[in-house]
Every structure is written in structure tokens, then in C-alpha cells.
Amino acid sequence: MSAVRSKSWTVRVRERAVEALPPEKLLADKQPTYVSSWIYVFGVLSIASLVVIIASGCILALKGPGWWHFTGVGRFFNSIHLWAVELFFFVMVVHLWGKYWMAAWRGGRVRVWVTGAVTFLVAVPCALTGYVSQQNFDAQWISTQAKDAMNSVGIGAFFNLTNFGQMYSYHILLLPLAVVGLVVAHVLLVRKHGVVPPFRLEDVKRATTAERPTDLPPQESHA
Amino acid sequence: MAAIFNLDHPAHTVHWHFFSMSVSNVIVIVLMLIVFVLAIALPFPKHDVGGHSS
């Protein structure tokens, strides 16, 4: 970081970005040994599923409902899109469980945890709006049933499930944009703070003894 | 899938006191639990390429 801040905002942004995430941290070629566990694989599996979802969704958007309902190749990509979403939620839930039991918010990683949790919450309506964007009787049935849920909590005027245009826009633009943006922020924060280490054995032992101090020192952030 | 499984009927559900959930959802949750336990229990393949730091 330079001692005197530049007047150019591009230079300031660049300096702050490099300061927060130097290249060797942004694109690290080494990971700590504790990452050698299958439980650490589910984050990247979630991203891989998301890539397939976005790619198959783009193809479906290009071709349209006549193609995805009535041609063999269209039905194939429709199924790829559906099952990639199923896989996405499957591996994301396992990832969430793993990080919850690791208390992955330790060591100044609260923002990592929060962006991950919010991604999950935003991904749910992102997927559900897909059910009402199919353009078939199934979508009509789901939308007329689900609108009652929206109305019962008072948001039916803002989130109208029988409004196809609104639901389709949410499904293919607004919510995917939010999910991808949150995932990018989540990954950058993981790169910045490092993968959360396992609990230290001495902390576990101390926590199970009677003379446990009330204010434990904060865990060191992984470098 | 519809040719393999007959889907032309209401979903089967699991009822237990207040708990009510479709069988398909129960199967997915059980599978997630199995995968979670296996991910912790199974050893991760090791390779000596010097790519790990302490």
C-alpha cells in the first residue's frame, strides 16, 4: 500500500483490492493439510452444480418452452437443469451442515458464514420460481396453490405467483444474479480469511473442564 | 422416470404424530445424512506432490 493515497479512484480501488486479496491469496496453490477431507469438497461441488444450472438455464432461455417441452434434446436439457438444481441443494445442505458443526464463523469469518447462509436463503425462491416458469399445467397448478401462501403473509401484491412475466424475470435474472453475486462474495471472503480450521484439541478439553474461563481468547485466523 | 415409476397417484407420505412429509423428501434427507457421515468418516486420498503446507 502506498503511503499517500492516489487521487485516482481506480488506483485506490486497485490498491485496496490487492491489499485485501494479494494474488497469491486470491489464487492460492496450497491449502492447509486439514482440508484433505471429503467434508471440504461440498463447497466446490455446490459451485460446480451452479455452473451446470446456469449453463443449462441459458440454453433453455435461448430455445424456449416449445423446445424444452416437445423435443427430445429440449427435454434432456430441461432434465439436466432440474437435476442440477436437485444436486445443488443436496450438496449445499451437506456443505451447510459441515460448516455449522465446524462453527465456521470462528476466526473473523462471520461474513463468510453470513454470505453462505444468505445464498442458501436466496437460492430457495430462485429454484421455486422455476416451478412456476415451466409454462405447463404443473406450473399453473403450483402458482395457484402457492399464491395463497404469499397472500397469507401479506406479500402477494409484491410477489404475484400468477404473474408469469414477473416470476420468469425473477427466475432467470434477478434471483440468479443475487445468487451468483453472493457466491462470488462468499468465495472471495473464503480466500481472504482462509478455510476454517478444525477445533483445537486444547480448546475442546478446556471447554469440558470446570475451570473454563468465561472469555476465551479469540481463535487465530488461518493465514 | 415416469415410465420406470408410476407417478400417476398422490404422493405417499410419512405420518408420525405432528410430523408429515412425502416419502421422496424423507429419502433425500436420509441420503444427505448418509453422505454427510461418509464425508467425515471416509479417508481422503493422499498424494505426495508437495502441494500441502502445514
Does residue B14 form part of some domain?
yes
Domain range enclosing B14? 1-34
pTM of the model: 0.84
Does residue B51 form part of some domain?
no
SS3 A47: helix
For position B53, what pLDDT does the model report? 47
The 8 Å CB, 24+ separation contacts for A83-87 are A84/A49, A84/A52, A84/A53, A84/A56, A85/A49, A85/A53, A85/A127, A85/A130, A87/A45, A87/A49, A87/A52
A213 has pLDDT over 60: no
Least confident piece of the model among A4-8, A183-187, A211-215, B45-49: A211-215
Per-residue pLDDT of A127-183, as tens digits, reads: 999 999 999 999 999 999 999 999 999 988 888 999 999 999 999 999 999 999 999
Among B28, B32, B42, the residue with its CB nearest the CB of A38 is: B42
For position A139, what pLDDT does the model report? 94
Per-residue pLDDT of A37-84, as tens digits, reads: 999 999 999 999 999 999 999 999 999 999 999 999 999 999 999 999
Cβ neighbors of A45 (< 8 A, separation 6 or more) are: A87, A91, A95
**Smallest Cα–Cα separation from A119: which of A73, A70, A178?**
A178
The domain total for chain A is 2
For position B7, what pLDDT does the model report? 79
Q: Are B35 and A94 in contact (CB under 8 A)?
A: yes
Per CB-CB distance under 8 Å, the chain B contacts of A37 are: 39-40, 44
Does residue B54 form part of some domain?
no
**Smallest Cα–Cα separation from A123: which of A162, A91, A80, A155?**
A91
**Confidence tier at A3 by pLDDT (50, 70, 90):** low
DSSP letter for A27, please.
Answer: T
The CA distance from A19 to A17, in Å, is 5
Quick one: A49 and A124 in the same domain? no
Does residue B2 form part of some domain?
yes
The CA distance from A145 to A143, in Å, is 5
For position A214, what pLDDT does the model report? 56
Among A30, A39, A41, the residue with its CB nearest the CB of B52 is: A30
Q: What is the rounded radius of gyration, in angstroms, for the C-alpha atoms of chain A?
A: 22
Does residue A111 form part of some domain?
yes
For position A223, what pLDDT does the model report? 42
For position A6, what pLDDT does the model report? 81
For position A209, what pLDDT does the model report? 76
Per-residue pLDDT of B28-51, as tens digits, reads: 999 999 999 999 999 998 776 555
Among A30, A39, A98, the residue with its CB nearest the CB of B51 is: A30
ipTM over 0.95: no
Quick one: A112 and A144 in the same domain? yes
Does residue A81 form part of some domain?
yes
SS3 A91: helix
Any CB–CB contact under 8 A between B36 and chain A? yes
For position A103, what pLDDT does the model report? 93
Q: Beta strands B13-16 and A31-32: pairing type?
A: unpaired
Q: Which A residues 81-120 touch B at CB under 8 Å?
A: 90, 93-94, 97-98
Does residue B27 form part of some domain?
yes
Average per-residue pLDDT for chain A = 90
Backbone phi, then psi, for A221, in 5-degree steps?
-75, 140
The domain total for chain B is 1
Q: Are A107 and A195 in contact (CB under 8 A)?
A: no
B54 has pLDDT over 50: no
